[in-house]
Structure 1
Amino acid sequence: MTSAVTTLVPFEKVLETFDPTMGLEVHVELNTATKMFCGCPTEFGAEPNTQVCPTCLGLPGAMPVVNGAAVESAIRIGLALNCEIAEWCRFARKNYFYPDMPKNFQTSQYDEPICFEGYLDVEVDGETYRVEIERAHMEEDTGKATHIGGATGRIHGASHSLIDYNRAGIPLIEIVTKPIRGTGAKAPEVAKAYVAALRELVKGLGVSDVRMDQGSMRCDVNLSLAPKGSEVLGTRTETKNVNSLRSVERAVRYEMSRHAGILSAGGSILQETRHFHEGDGSTSAGREKSDAEDYRYFPEPDLVPVAPAREWVEELRGTLPEPPAVRRARLQEAWGFSDMEMRDTVGAGALELVEETIAAGAAPQAARKWWLGELARRANDHGLELTEVGVTPVQVAEVQGLVDAKTINDKLARQVFEGLYAGEGTPAEIVEKRGLAVVSDDGALSAAVDNAIAGNPDVAQKIRDGKVAAAGALIGAVMKEMRGQADAGRVRELILAKLT
């Protein structure tokens, strides 16, 4: 028995009855100049169907050739994930019939992946979780289908579909975890932390830009629930192509609540793919999930096996950058962040943004303040990743530079960010256009101070009697009259000079 309409169990109640198990499949598009098995370019955003040839279109007689740079990138990813590297592996044909793959099969790896048996440690709330990697294998990406005329952008209800094969054949590495168990209520956060750590690791290797918004990194979220304490895994669903860290967390959370609702009502879970909906964080049914035998894998007859020499593998091991954990420790010491400050920075997905802002000239604490404060609030309010808020690290450093020069203060800086969101120009241009510069004319400030003293005689008398802390009320009155465009420190000096 299954149910089309499911009553969601509140997330905090799910763990009273069930234990979650996750499996995460992350697809990473490599940044090679050409495709996996042909010489077509791989630039993002070209006119549809302009980066294709007989090989990636699967025309009769076309012969594939393995991209050596893609093999090298695959090995480097595997080494960074603590994987074993196969001495001999080969490609296989994964057969399925759908218009996004013109050959009607995908050239992938099946039972002989190039990388296997690895792990990646991730930290959530001060606790380390080891995510074991089952395999990282090479394959090619599919084309992109755009469904026209429907309300949801899905094929159901569409009047027609458009196919762009530019992406078909781009090199992919699929990284597959083993079942992730024992995370309990932290399952959504662990999933997000794993994908974030993986993105950081792959970007550090320089083999992909891992732009989730452009599809160069995508995550399929497998989730099942089993009765609490059971060793038998439940039936899983696979939420496909989740394309942001926030959405990975939301997909796990929603599916846990949905599964629990079905199971608690006496229903059973259908093994299927699911679509994730960014708007409300829900999922909807896709198609019944195929098992490996349904794809009728068999060795690709047109490609020779790949046999990386051990000397080459060790040579590539020597090219790996410092591990992310080592890098974070180095940056924490250089920036003077506490453990909590660094943990919050990493957890917010702001580490690289803060690093780039510091490199552009901002002090570490100032860079952290803006990304985890003003800009994080905007991201949360609009359901965005920090990288999508419409402000660059260089612009943040420029805003802070204006604060350091006392051209503006922190309150006025928030108005500058509003101008940046709206595309009104550079920070300096926005300050000029909006008239945001701090008033430095002592004559104007002195007049405003006199007005504040006259309007608050009781407060003024307290200051004359030695209660200097009362100056805060007068400073507030001056700032209000000056519309925030005053240097609070200079205002305080003028108040004390007049009253003490």
Structure 2
Amino acid sequence: MSETVNTFEAQQQGRPTGPLVRGYEVIIGFETHAQLSTASKIFSRASTAFGAEPNTQACAVDLALPGTLPVMNKGAVERAIKLGLALGSHIAPRSVFARKNYFYPDLPKGYQISQFEIPVVQGGAVSFFVGEEQKTVRLVRAHLEEDAGKSLHEDFIGQSGIDLNRAGTPLLEIVTEPDMRSTAEAVAYAKELHKIVTWIGICDGNMQEGSFRCDANVSVRKPGEKLGTRREIKNLNSFKFMQQAIDYEIRWQIDEIEDGREIEQATVLFNPDTGETRAMRAKEDSSDYRYFPDPDLPPLVIAADWIERVKAAMPELPRAMAERYVRDHGLSEYDAAQLTQSAALAGYFDEAVSAGATPKLASNWITGEMARRLNAAEIGIEAAPVKAQQLAQLVKRIADGTLPNNAARQVFEALWTGEGSDVDAIIEAKDLKPMNDAGALDKILDEVIAKNAKNVEEYRGGKEKALNALVGQVMKASGGKANPAQVTELLKAKLS
């Protein structure tokens, strides 16, 4: 939880108003904890591997035994630098660690080592699409901190235990301005940030294991009124639950206000079984934690040449890759953004283009039919039965006129189901070659014109859409083998 900014009113001035919900404006800010992909913890050499037996990966430093001292993990700092470079942030040449004091069973020291006044990453922005509309969310900061342990509640024996394996695990807490104005924007932002941290390799992004956890600060108000009281929804660990939780919280706050009750600042949890949020505790402010600089840790100093070395080793970022797709392949910004949703998806597209696929056609198939199939099967592009080389072969046959769209879908189906592996062989086996017999096609055209007098009359009367109906009839009569573009031109000539 971050208490770095209590300037919602100042920060949101001039921000665009989103769609109103029952006459109320929704205001959302995010705090995201990204677990860093280091092999050891932020201040000790204990392992960060997931799934070990409770308390087997907690060393003396993690347990806060007397006389132990924290030592900074260089890998965690480098991952913070990577995030700052990826988000266009300022990387502080000097940042400070602080003790955040609170008492909870899974916090061995009685305080958490975090950053407060001077974080390592400052400012920056995340841009993303909601539908085809581009949005940008400004960032306040990203700071390094250690994770706490985990309370285990064994209902069947009525007892609770503490697992300190997570204690000391390195985190980056990424804090936004309250710039989001709808649930759709909030989920799109979270997905984009998830893409970025996994793309640059600083976090594995496994939400089920807690590697990427989001807290949403939600408030509502009537347009033009002062900001409403915010409630923080903690530990949202799936995009589906995120949407459900925020939607419910918005409805709940509006109902409370409409019934004449005041919203109280609180930390709440979402119950996916009931689809409801419930208050866990009153929401603290920064003063409640009595921050002060950690006397055991010197300031974190990051030299300019260190930043340059990290920058030189960075992969091409999604936004730069999308700009290249627009510039070099003539794709729309939206299509380019869809293709850079993951490094694997971008790599698939690049491989298909390198194998000779027309970029625009390849993009259409990947973001269209391929995406539909992947979503239905709930798999990633890495597991797609149709390989990039096969898609390239399919796209080339569409581009050279060998395959009309209907026939191309039949070939794709065969590739997806494993009925065949070679595009040309599938075309031959299914007799999907285009109709090249000019006499047979001419006969079909004449029959369609004779049977569809109304469409013919409408087209000659200036209704261009009537021609599409005639083309459809010809395609149906030819079994999908006719070339639609050729049919269109031939019909125009016959009806002129």
The two structures have a TM-score, normalised by structure 1, of 0.70
CA 243–377 in structure 1, closer or farther in 2 if over 3 Å, else same: farther
CA 192–371 in structure 1, closer or farther in 2 if over 3 Å, else same: farther
Corresponding residue for residue 437 of structure 2: none
- Note the residue ranges of structure 1 that are not aligned, 5 or more in a row: 1-10, 151-157, 420-428, 443-457, 480-485, 493-500
Counterpart of 1:87 (choices 85, 94, 116) is 94
Q: Tell me the CA shift for residue 318 of structure 1.
A: 5.5
Q: Is the partner of 2:232 in helix, strand or coil?
A: strand
Q: Is the partner of 2:301 in helix, strand or coil?
A: coil
Q: Tell me the CA shift for residue 257 of structure 1.
A: 2.5
CA 164–439 in structure 1, closer or farther in 2 if over 3 Å, else same: farther
Q: Is the partner of 1:333 in helix, strand or coil?
A: helix
- In the alignment, the residues of structure 2 paired with residue 390 and residue 342 of structure 1 have an alpha-carbon distance, to the nearest angstrom, of 16
CA 144–361 in structure 1, closer or farther in 2 if over 3 Å, else same: farther
Q: Tell me the CA shift for residue 224 of structure 1.
A: 0.9
Q: What letter is aligned with 1:33? A: A
Corresponding residue for residue 210 of structure 2: 215
Q: What letter is aligned with 1:25? A: E
- In the alignment, the residues of structure 2 paired with residue 43 and residue 367 of structure 1 have an alpha-carbon distance, to the nearest angstrom, of 39
Q: Tell me the CA shift for residue 296 of structure 1.
A: 3.5
Corresponding residue for residue 112 of structure 1: 118
CA 245–330 in structure 1, closer or farther in 2 if over 3 Å, else same: farther
The two structures have a TM-score, normalised by structure 2, of 0.70
What fraction of aligned residue pairs are identical, expressed as a percent?
Answer: 33
Q: What letter is aligned with 1:179? A: P
Q: Tell me the CA shift for residue 316 of structure 1.
A: 4.5
Corresponding residue for residue 356 of structure 1: 347
- What does residue range 52-67 of structure 1 map to in structure 2 within 5 Å? 52-67=58-73
Corresponding residue for residue 166 of structure 1: 165
- What does residue range 60-459 of structure 1 map to in structure 2 within 5 Å? 60-79=66-85, 80-99=87-106, 101-124=107-130, 129-149=135-155, 159-161=158-160, 163-180=162-179, 186-230=181-225, 232-278=226-272, 282-313=276-307, 316=310, 324-342=318-336, 345=338, 350=341, 352-361=343-352, 363=357, 364-365=359-360, 368-369=363-364, 371-374=366-369, 376-377=371-372, 388=379, 392=383, 395-397=386-388, 400=391, 410-411=409-410, 413-414=412-413, 417=416, 440=429
- In the alignment, the residues of structure 1 paired with residue 448 and residue 287 of structure 2 have an alpha-carbon distance, to the nearest angstrom, of 82
Larger mean CA deviation between 22-31 and 371-380 belongs to: 371-380
- What does residue range 31-46 of structure 1 map to in structure 2 within 5 Å? 31-46=37-52
- Tell me the alpha carbon deviations over residues 298-338 of structure 1, each in whole angstroms, 9 at most, x when there is no partner: 33233223233355445545655555433211023344423
Q: Tell me the CA shift for residue 278 of structure 1.
A: 4.9
Q: Is the partner of 1:301 in helix, strand or coil?
A: coil
Q: What letter is aligned with 1:58? A: A
CA 273–413 in structure 1, closer or farther in 2 if over 3 Å, else same: farther
Larger mean CA deviation between 262-271 and 358-367 belongs to: 358-367
Q: Tell me the CA shift for residue 259 of structure 1.
A: 1.5
- In the alignment, the residues of structure 2 paired with residue 395 and residue 316 of structure 1 have an alpha-carbon distance, to the nearest angstrom, of 36
Q: Tell me the CA shift for residue 235 of structure 1.
A: 0.9
- Note the residue ranges of structure 2 that are not aligned, 5 or more in a row: 1-17, 398-402, 432-446, 457-467, 487-496
Q: What letter is aligned with 1:268? A: E
- Tell me the alpha carbon deviations over residues 126-178 of structure 1, each in whole angstroms, 9 at most, x when there is no partner: 6554433222111012334454448xxxxxxx844565433322211111123
Q: Is the 8 A contact 1:399 1:413 kept in 2?
A: no
CA 141–430 in structure 1, closer or farther in 2 if over 3 Å, else same: farther
Q: Tell me the CA shift for residue 221 of structure 1.
A: 0.6
Aligned-residue RMSD, C-alpha: 4.7
- In the alignment, the residues of structure 2 paired with residue 98 and residue 243 of structure 1 have an alpha-carbon distance, to the nearest angstrom, of 22
- In the alignment, the residues of structure 2 paired with residue 48 and residue 438 of structure 1 have an alpha-carbon distance, to the nearest angstrom, of 57
Corresponding residue for residue 425 of structure 1: none
- In the alignment, the residues of structure 2 paired with residue 330 and residue 237 of structure 1 have an alpha-carbon distance, to the nearest angstrom, of 41
Q: What letter is aligned with 2:58? A: V
